[in-house]
Amino acid sequence: MPARMADIARQAQVSEATVSRVINDRPGVSHETRQAVLTALDVLGYERPERLRKRSAGLVGLVVPELENPIFPAFAQAIESTLAQQGYTPVLCTQTPGGVTEDEYVEMLLDRQVSGIVFVSGLSADTTADKQRYLRLLDRPLPIVLVNGFSSGIEAPFVSCDERQAGDLAVSHLVSLGHRRIGMISGPNRFISTQRRLEGFRAAMKRSAGASDSEVDGLTSLALFGVEGGEVAADRLLALGVTGIVCGSDLMALGAIRAARRRGLRVPQDLSVIGFDDSPLIAFTDPPLTTLRQPVTAMAAATVNALVDEINGHGAPHSEFLFRPELVVRESTAIAPRRGEVPAATSAA
């Protein structure tokens, strides 16, 4: 089927002149732009010119839950770049509320005859979701790799940040600053990330702060992921007089800071807050956020290597590759206030 320059240019969001340079293999086009044009050719179902076919080993689907949380674009960019270096053309599929679902994206990718699919925080991360959707892909067989979405019973490579270690590191840092009344906020308990983070938090609180199981339960507040959820969850803990909060994401941490300020509390003088992810730009918040950094680049490399091994029939280990998070100390944590120094928190409006 002959390629229409206008269609390709529109899909790739470039000029027709740029499309012409790429198709004719001429210089003067950046690597990113060239990949965008080649991806547009593949997605629209056009055949690549013979001179360009050697540059692509095939399409690979990349399914991410959304782009509002900056950690997901960070993963997408790192994985896409690593795939391109291996000769594969990534097809990014982003979900939005009420939009195309993960299952619908998978059907579209299968129609495009992708060589494999990477799922970032996909439905496998939800312990209540049906695993059969992944088992059916493996039965085809189609290579898949799941990032931050471990689920037992799925014979595939998993790449995850060690959430238990994250909870432990966060508590240990706050305890070292003299905090004992430490709370944790995170997303719904059906997510494997929340369950693991709570396990690490609980173990560290019992070991380092001498808390009982019932005390830990009382210092845990779950809500929807995001700034608003973080604000609601933190507000419950602030009413209990916590001096430190460990958060399930950087966005939830920003919500916790908002809740504290609404009550007349200062961060970090009255309340220390720790995020999770180290999303882009989070170092420039007010105050710059102390957080647990996910090693995105290393995780992306492991993800692509495992997928390419699966595609090439080398058989990557069907186990979980766990990556240790890094505590990045900035200005949202400080020495715990002495008893009586924290101003009385006003009730939420």
pLDDT 10s digits, 198-253 = 999 999 999 998 999 999 999 999 999 999 999 999 999 999 999 999 999 999 99
pLDDT value of position 85: 87
Residue 349 has pLDDT above 50, yes or no: no
Residue 29 has pLDDT above 70, yes or no: yes
Cβ(191)–Cβ(164) under 8 Å? no
pLDDT band, very low/low/confident/very high, at 55 (cuts 50, 70, 90): very low
Furthest C-alpha separation in the chain? 76
pLDDT value of position 67: 83
pLDDT value of position 53: 58
**pLDDT tens sequence across 132-147:** 999 999 999 999 999 9
Length of the chain, in residues? 349
Domain membership of residue 38 (yes or no) is no
In three-state form (DSSP H/G/I as H, E/B as E, the rest C), the secondary structure along the chain is CCCCHHHHHHHHCCCHHHHHHHHCCCCCCCHHHHHHHHHHHHHCCCCCCHHHHCCCCEEEEEEECCCCCCHHHHHHHHHHHHHHHCCEEEEEEECCCCCCCHHHHHHHHHHCCCCEEEEECCHHHECCCCCHHHHHHHHCCCCEEEECCCCCCCCCCEEEECHHHHHHHHHHHHHHCCCCCEEEEECCCCEHHHHHHHHHHHHHHHHHCCCCHHHHHHCEEECCCCHHHHHHHHHHHHCCCCCEEEECCHHHHHHHHHHHHHCCCCCCCCCEEEEEECCCCHHHCCCCCEEEECCHHHHHHHHHHHHHHHHCCCCCCCCEEEECCEEECCCCCCCCCCCCCCCCCCCCC
**What is the average pLDDT across 332-349?**
70
Write down the pTM of the prediction.
0.81
pLDDT value of position 1: 44
Burial of 28 (0-12, 13-18, 19+ CB in 10 A): exposed
Domain membership of residue 154 (yes or no) is no
pLDDT value of position 68: 86
Q: How far apart are CA 42 and CA 316, in angstroms?
A: 27
Share of the chain above pLDDT 70, in %: 94
Q: How far apart are CA 155 and CA 299, in angstroms?
A: 19
Domain membership of residue 327 (yes or no) is no
pLDDT value of position 39: 83
pLDDT value of position 4: 83
**What is the average pLDDT across 22-40?**
84
Q: Residue 288, preceding bond cis, omega within 30 degrees?
A: no
Work out the mean pLDDT of the chain and round it to a whole number.
Answer: 91
**What is the average pLDDT across 18-44?**
85
Domain membership of residue 324 (yes or no) is no
Q: Residue 268, preceding bond cis, omega within 30 degrees?
A: yes
Residue identified by tokens 């959304």 is: 66
Cβ(89)–Cβ(60) under 8 Å? yes
Residue 316 has pLDDT above 90, yes or no: no
**Structural domain harbouring 179:** 163-293
HSE toward the beta carbon, residue 6, CA cutoff 13 A? 0
Number of domains forming the structure of the chain: 1
* C-alpha pair distances (Å), 158 with each of 6, 61, 136, 165: 40, 16, 17, 17
Domain membership of residue 208 (yes or no) is yes
pLDDT value of position 238: 98
CATH number (domain holding residue 250)? 3.40.50.2300
pLDDT band, very low/low/confident/very high, at 30 (cuts 50, 70, 90): confident
pLDDT value of position 45: 80
In sequence order, the β-bridge partners of residue 118 are 62, 145
Residue 48's CB is within 10 A of a number of other CB atoms, namely 17
Q: How far apart are CA 35 and CA 87, in angstroms?
A: 10
Domain membership of residue 16 (yes or no) is no
Domain membership of residue 312 (yes or no) is no
pLDDT band, very low/low/confident/very high, at 23 (cuts 50, 70, 90): confident
Domain membership of residue 63 (yes or no) is no
**pLDDT tens sequence across 76-99:** 999 999 998 888 989 999 987 788
pLDDT value of position 57: 67
Residue 165's CB is within 10 A of a number of other CB atoms, namely 19
C-alpha angle 214/205/258, rounded to 5°? 90
